[in-house]
Structure 1
Amino acid sequence: MSFHDLPQDWPTRSLADPAFAADVLDLCVSDDDRTAGGLSVLLCRPDGSLSQPIFVADVPRPAALLEAVSAVVLGSLHLPGVDGLVLAVARARGGVNDDDRRLHQHAIEVCRRALLTLHGTFLVTTAGVFHLPVAGQLRSAQPRDVA
């Protein structure tokens, strides 16, 4: 699925499903936003459905992204009906890097302290949308046969 074939009832579905959240991010983060770079936030209702998309542009360095995540999470505490969020770093190209992983960990910690549900963290580029899994979702390496 992609944003081209989202189901008709997509606004009522939960963004807790990473594949579905990726499709919604693909819809909400424009090509211009990906090229310019920034932070995309999908604010969610208690049932996980989309309440409001937000895009924070012109965030020049990794430390500023961490600050932006903190500000968005703390600000969303005062919004009625917002119980969680989906975060995405937007940039033109490149794969997941250590700065993205630090931002993901920071988002986990800030959301945990704020008692907000973090439905997922993603990287959105012109090449696609990539999910950053939490540790419980990572597969452990298969043991190698050492002979």
Structure 2
Amino acid sequence: MNSKINAKNSCPIARSLDFLGDAWSILILRDAHAGLTRFEQFRKNLSIAPTILTKRLATLTEEGILEKRVYSEHPPRDEYVLTTAGRDFLPVLFMIGDWGRKYRGDGKLVRFLDAEAGTEIKPVLLDEVTGAKIGSRPIQIIQPDVEM
């Protein structure tokens, strides 16, 4: 495995992203949802190189997923908070995590709990129109008309 993410990582999101895409950005979003906001918090929790973290935070900010806010003038320090778009990514994280728990879930894994109820979160993705669970029915892919 040529991945930068250790396959023995206890987080099902990290395991899933091992081959699904830019793991660092997704894991920064996972941590932002857990309440991390500062560069050093992300760096320590993810054990990520500062240069990579700087690039990912800049991209997530430029793309409107995170918002950069000054929390200290002297010395100048910023924090990164989720925007509406960033908050809306939480269900995606949980679906990736659920898939990871099911298909990449060997060993002890991180658990995600509803903070109010204290119960483990069991995500289900439903089609808003039919109410059917996504993946329980055949799908049809319609390509958009292409204008020349």
Q: TM-score, normalised by structure 1?
A: 0.28
Higher relative CO (Cα under 8 Å, sequence separation at least 6) belongs to 1
Q: TM-score, normalised by structure 2?
A: 0.28
Q: Greater strand percent: which structure?
A: 1
